[in-house]
Chain A
Amino acid sequence: MNQYCDGIRRRDFLAWGVLGASQLSLSSYLRASSANPAANGSATSGIFIFLNGGPSHQDTFDLKPEAASEYRGEFKPVSTNVPGLQICEHLPRLAKVADKFTLVRGVTHTLGAHSLGTQYLQTGTRPIASLVHPGFGSVATKEHPSPPDVPSYISVDKPPMGAGFLGVRYAPFRIGKLAGMNRGIRIRGIDLPNGLPLDEFERRNETLEQLDTAFRSLEGNHELVDGLDEFSQRAFSIISSPRMREAFDLNRESPGFKQLFGRDGFSQSCLLAIRLIEAGVRFVTLSLGGWDTHSNNFPTLKNRLLPSLDQGLAGLLNGLDHRGLLKSTAVMVTGEFGRTPKVKDNGGRDHYPRCMAMLMAGGRISGGRVVGASDETASQPLEKGFSPDDMAATFYENLGIDPKMQYEASGRPITLVRNGKTVSELFS
């Protein structure tokens, strides 16, 4: 028997206390954390999809049908629902929702190693050995946390970038990789261990309150003691509230909505991401790996990666739109670099940071456009191009976060994105 009805629980008064300290009333807190676009139209939630390995831009979103065959590769472009905008023929579902996203071509940098490129693309700051910058999700959720019974930031599988100098407090709550449709998800730390009923968990927590009194004299006035209480309360709410369990239960989704997605793990993760955002999670990081095609680029893309990306991402954009979440959710999709313009003898393409493409959607991104361009062989940006710094600044801007804001780390002021400029064409 549960005498609480999702209302005030153990230590709730403390959580309210914490809110009070930051001058937020409960109602304004809940309002601030609801899934509506902020007043200036920027998003309040974010989804970052990382295509690990570095997808070849010229075989996905920046095709060069006019180039010589050793450059253009095997795939043909296909028209989309936006006149004049073409993408790869193996992305047919995305072609039908091109009005919902904007492509950025001619993004360029110089870091051709996976780990460095990964860090660069997810922080907007060229990696340096002396300081690790935080990834998007950590910054986004530090600035806009979730309501107390929901984790602010969830990463499906290993987050490609951690919280860096912001510290573990802002690291994502990580769940395991999804296996595929109807395979069930076990969420480590949220599912109760075998055989422990929820009311037993709650009984323990009630008694714990009587035992956890050693530092009572410091409560309300001590950073560590209050921090432990705050997170312990959050953990309890998350574990005991039906909200998260329901969000993770993909079987609750209507069959019609489920049909927007494929059956594989990536598609299911995209479906999960929508449910999480809907439940109040502020930021979700997903990844789809395998793009490091040094050989056999074309069959790998055609048979496995492109269908997977196509179903998952099209499902995500359609799904967000159906649920009215697209305006409030900033989406960014990128790898760590592009791939070499010339196809190798073994049918592969190597790392190529000098030119790449990425996709943005949601929030203030108007959709149905291409910003920037590469040259005739997709070897370099046509003009100056955009740096990862610019793209990070743009993503932050879309999330309602000033990319020029400053944090302090190692005793120095650190500008969030020091060198980037927001690409305002994406918002017009």
Chain B
Amino acid sequence: MKRSLRHLLRRCSRKGRTGLLVIVCAALPVSVFLTTSEAQEQKQPALTPSVAERFSRETNETPDFRRHVLPLLNRSGCNAAACHGAKEGQGGFQLSLFGYDLEADYKQLVEDRDPPRANWKEPDKSDILLKPSLQKDHEGGFHFDEGDWQYRLLQNWVRGRAPGESTKTAPLARLVVEPAELVLKSTDEAVPLRAIAVWADGTAEDVTALCRFQSNNEAVAEVDEEGVVSFRGSGDTQAIAFYDQMIVSVPILSPYPGNYRAMPLDGLEPIDRLIAAKQEKLRLEAADSCSDAEFLRRVSLDLTGTLPTAQRVREFLADSDLNKRARLVEELLASEEYVACWTNFLCELTGNSENQMPDPAFRREQSQQWYDWIERRVRDNVPYDEIVEGMVCGTSRSPDESYADYCRELSTNVRADGPRSYDERETLPLYWARVNTRSADNKTLSFSHVFLGVRLQCAECHKHPFDRWTKDDFDGLKAFFEPLGYRLSPEGEQVSQAFREANVPPDVRNAQGIIAKLAREGKVIPWKELTYASGSRGGSNSGTFTQGAGREADPLRILMDWLRDPSHPYMSLAFVNRVWAHYFGLGIVDPQDDLSLANPPSNRALLDYLAAGFIESGYDMKWLHRQILKSEAYQRSWQPRSSNRADARNFSHRELRRLPAEVIYDAVWLATANDQKAALRSGRRAVGPVSGMTRSEGVNRLLGELGKPDRSAVCENERSNEPSLTQAIFLQNDPEVDKMISRPDGWVASVCGRLKGVPANDLGQAKERSVEEAFLRTLSRFPTQEEHQVCLEFMENSATPENGVRGILWMLLNTKEFCINR
């Protein structure tokens, strides 16, 4: 199973370079791993000084369109959305948004109208000189004066007959920004950054004056237009430099004031070492370790989506084994709740939504099949890359499977009394068959969002402002999906027609319903299938259909190989970052689905370690869980120290989070169940099969209102764990919760039954015991003495013992502590 990095490399280099592969490489050429420090190791060639210097006085130099002119316009904000980058341009002058379309931009400047905006016949009458210097009216305001270097640069370009992009211009090889990392003191007011562009021919130039700069958090540091950094507050962020299509980030660290006790780094596991190393730079102390009770509740909620039972809390707290936390992790990893929780995680990530299933009559079944397919793999701990492969390279039938066999198998699977064997299929073609990914655009968005953690929405129409993706890149990737569709093949078409003629009366409106009914009764019906049409675009009757074509020629397989290529491990990065975010409430890259150059990780070394380790482990998901859960970082207390209170990016203390919708629902169910029920966990769990419990419309709706996504958006993280009125009213006063508290097989009923039989002089102790029990099942801890007292008083003042017990359980369900994972 284990697949070493070297093996992966060999596999990829063995592959013939097909045309498509070239497209992919061109489409997604970046390695997130290309850090500035790596780039700097290469030797610096002779350096051309900055344009700001060269053009500060009269010169004969004609600047280059791509290297100088466009970056200057870009930096001045000319192609921003509010200015000439707007859809209709501004004042008739239109530049491509965020500048990627060199040809169109050049035309606008030189050819679009007479006289052109860059008027080389009468250079000094050029609008690109007169407008930004306000010698002519300019809604966009003043940018530079006659005599400024910017003015002279543009002027010389126009005077030099405004040359366009030359084929002789070497492409930009890299952009180096110095320093590679910046530690700021509170007195630092003006630390300059320097940006050097290195072209493929080895020439290099100081382009600081042509870069656009930004700070990712102005409360920490400001970066002005010239790339000068000033301290604003403690914390850490990045300065981002944009030039041509390169984006480079420089970590900025402003250490926290106050006491700092250094932690010894020796003996720490990699995760903790990498986190501690950064904390040390920031003089950021870590919180203490959480208590055993907190750990048990936390890891149960995070890893299995459910509360521990009261019994389990007692056992765990009584256990004196020093290694009990690690043992607990192993125990939970082997549980069915783990399988349900992570099947749910993957179903949500990949968009398993009942209302997006392709065959309207079988939506529920297909969504269940999707769940089953994933569930089996999570249970068997199938490597993540193989699960991805099953989706990306989904095929409806293997090359040697006939259409008739295929239809028989699928029909059997939807038969009312049929076996559920869909999970045995090698692949999951439903991923590409969804209604919301019918178009190639949406397939592209879904693919990049799910598997790469990259948001390509911007590049669907224009250059991505914070990454290097352009519309051409988007289209290059999209080309893979154009021919892919879930439809009837020509053979299927014939079979389907014959089937209809034989089984469906003519002029029936609901033919689909009739056919579905026949299938449920055991008849074999025709099915659509995922096919790849080569030749013309899509359409069920056009082109040649290839079914599981030769592996080498299969474009989706090429894409899969690309995903596995360790030189740009997006697949691993995106996944480990998402899992990290699941455990810590925030990704190492945050937002978790926005891996982009201008949104770098808060701790690159940590992310790199996890991503490489995950690949090294053979994409073993349990390896990843263990690494994280056994770390000190995961086991920290939520109680901040004064020195780390403000920190939210360096995992110095636990972030509090509201329980997700399904988890709250299950937690209420479990907390209110009697001991036997709780031990069996036989309830209708919300963390589980998508439609297992959602037959109850009321509960389904409630979960939605608590923030459960319906998984219909192709590239958005839809889950919401925000507090809301519905959630508060749900816990305080929903009939569903009241029903759970009052049910005959519930805990309240069993305690009240017990209290009735207790002799009067033992009653006090019995009541104490039930208070304790209530705390264990809701907050997974023993009550403090004070809380004990408050509850006993409440019981005393209650009209009946039942009122008391019920009230106490209700109150505990309504503490913030109950619905917070701490």
A residues near B (Cβ < 8 Å) are 129-132, 151, 158, 162, 165, 167-169, 171, 173-174, 188-190, 192-193, 200-201, 203-204, 207-208, 210-212, 214-215, 217-218, 222, 224-225, 227-232, 234-236, 238-239, 410-412
Contact of A193 among B713, B714, B733, B797 (CB under 8 A): B733
Contact of B656 among A190, A200, A222, A229 (CB under 8 A): A222
Smallest CB separation, A418 vs chain B (Å): 10
- With contacts A130-B715, A174-B705, A215-B816 taken as known, whether A193 is within 8 angstroms of B810 at the C-beta atoms is no
Q: Are A211 and B728 in contact (CB under 8 A)?
A: no
Which residues of chain A are near B178, meaning CB under 8 Å?
Answer: none
Contact of A200 among B701, B732, B803, B815 (CB under 8 A): B803
Q: How far is the CA of A391 from the CA of B136 in the complex (A)?
A: 39
B residues near A (Cβ < 8 Å) are 436-437, 442, 445, 455, 457-458, 466, 591, 594, 599, 639, 656-658, 701, 704-707, 712-716, 718, 720, 722-730, 732-735, 738, 787, 790-791, 794, 797, 803, 807, 810-812, 814-817, 819-820, 822
Which residues of chain A are near B812, meaning CB under 8 Å?
Answer: 211
Which residues of chain B are near A168, meaning CB under 8 Å?
Answer: 705-707, 720, 722, 724, 726-727
Q: Are B815 and A171 in contact (CB under 8 A)?
A: no
Q: Are A214 and B815 in contact (CB under 8 A)?
A: yes
**Nearest A residue (CB) for B718:** A132
Which residues of chain A are near B455, meaning CB under 8 Å?
Answer: 410-411
Q: Are B732 and A214 in contact (CB under 8 A)?
A: no
Q: Are B811 and A192 in contact (CB under 8 A)?
A: no
Smallest CB separation, A113 vs chain B (Å): 11
Which residues of chain A are near B713, meaning CB under 8 Å?
Answer: 129-132
Smallest CB separation, B787 vs chain A (Å): 6
Q: Are B729 and A235 in contact (CB under 8 A)?
A: yes
- With contacts A189-B734, A224-B723 taken as known, whether A208 is within 8 angstroms of B715 at the C-beta atoms is no
Q: Are B658 and A224 in contact (CB under 8 A)?
A: yes
Q: Are B815 and A151 in contact (CB under 8 A)?
A: no
Contact of B733 among A208, A231, A235, A412 (CB under 8 A): A235
**Nearest A residue (CB) for B596:** A411
Q: Are A129 and B436 in contact (CB under 8 A)?
A: yes
**Nearest A residue (CB) for B593:** A410
Q: How far is the CA of A193 from the CA of B817 in the complex (A)?
A: 24
**Nearest B residue (CB) for A212:** B815
Which residues of chain A are near B811, meaning CB under 8 Å?
Answer: 204, 207-208, 211
- With contacts A129-B714, A168-B707, A239-B733 taken as known, whether A231 is within 8 angstroms of B728 at the C-beta atoms is yes
26 CB-based A-B contacts, threshold 8 Å: A129-B437, A129-B713, A130-B715, A130-B716, A131-B716, A132-B713, A168-B705, A189-B726, A189-B729, A189-B735, A193-B738, A207-B791, A207-B794, A210-B790, A211-B811, A212-B817, A224-B820, A227-B722, A230-B723, A231-B727, A232-B816, A239-B729, A410-B457, A411-B466, A411-B599, A412-B458
Q: How far is the CA of A162 from the CA of B706 in the complex (A)?
A: 12
Which residues of chain A are near B819, meaning CB under 8 Å?
Answer: 228
- With contacts A208-B815, A212-B815, A239-B732 taken as known, whether A231 is within 8 angstroms of B457 at the C-beta atoms is no
- With contacts A132-B713, A211-B790 taken as known, whether A411 is within 8 angstroms of B594 at the C-beta atoms is yes
Q: How far is the CA of A412 from the CA of B598 in the complex (A)?
A: 13
**Nearest A residue (CB) for B797:** A203
**Nearest A residue (CB) for B714:** A129
Q: Are B725 and A234 in contact (CB under 8 A)?
A: yes
- Could you list 8 further interchain pairs (A-B, Cβ under 8 angstroms) beyond the known A129-B712, A203-B797, A411-B455? A169-B725, A193-B738, A208-B815, A224-B723, A225-B820, A228-B723, A232-B732, A235-B729
Which residues of chain B are near A188, meaning CB under 8 Å?
Answer: 734-735
Q: Are A235 and B732 in contact (CB under 8 A)?
A: yes
Q: Are A217 and B815 in contact (CB under 8 A)?
A: no
Contact of A236 among B701, B716, B732, B803 (CB under 8 A): B732
Which residues of chain B are near A214, meaning CB under 8 Å?
Answer: 815-817, 822
Contact of B810 among A204, A229, A236 (CB under 8 A): A204
Q: Are B705 and A171 in contact (CB under 8 A)?
A: yes
Which residues of chain B are near A189, meaning CB under 8 Å?
Answer: 726, 729-730, 732-735
The 5 closest A-B pairs by CB, nearest first: A235-B728, A227-B723, A189-B729, A231-B728, A193-B738
Q: How far is the CA of A239 from the CA of B822 in the complex (A)?
A: 28
Q: Are A224 and B657 in contact (CB under 8 A)?
A: yes
Residue among B657, B722, B797, B817 with max Cβ neighbours from chain A (10 Å)? B722
Smallest CB separation, B238 vs chain A (Å): 15
Which residues of chain B are near A210, meaning CB under 8 Å?
Answer: 790
**Nearest A residue (CB) for B594:** A411
Q: How far is the CA of A201 from the CA of B811 in the complex (A)?
A: 10
Q: How far is the CA of A162 from the CA of B709 in the complex (A)?
A: 11
Contact of B725 among A192, A231, A410 (CB under 8 A): A231
Smallest CB separation, A273 vs chain B (Å): 19
Q: How far is the CA of A234 from the CA of B723 in the complex (A)?
A: 12
Which residues of chain B are near A228, meaning CB under 8 Å?
Answer: 658, 723, 728, 816, 819-820
Smallest CB separation, A3 vs chain B (Å): 15
Q: How far is the CA of A192 from the CA of B724 in the complex (A)?
A: 19
Contact of B722 among A165, A167, A218, A239 (CB under 8 A): A167
**Nearest A residue (CB) for B819:** A228
Q: Are A129 and B442 in contact (CB under 8 A)?
A: yes
Q: Are A129 and B814 in contact (CB under 8 A)?
A: no
Contact of A217 among B639, B716, B726, B816 (CB under 8 A): B639
**Nearest A residue (CB) for B715:** A130
Smallest CB separation, A108 vs chain B (Å): 21
Residue among B715, B716, B732, B822 with max Cβ neighbours from chain A (10 Å)? B732
Smallest CB separation, A287 vs chain B (Å): 15
Smallest CB separation, A347 vs chain B (Å): 15
Smallest CB separation, B813 vs chain A (Å): 10
**Nearest A residue (CB) for B734:** A189
Which residues of chain A are near B445, meaning CB under 8 Å?
Answer: 129-130
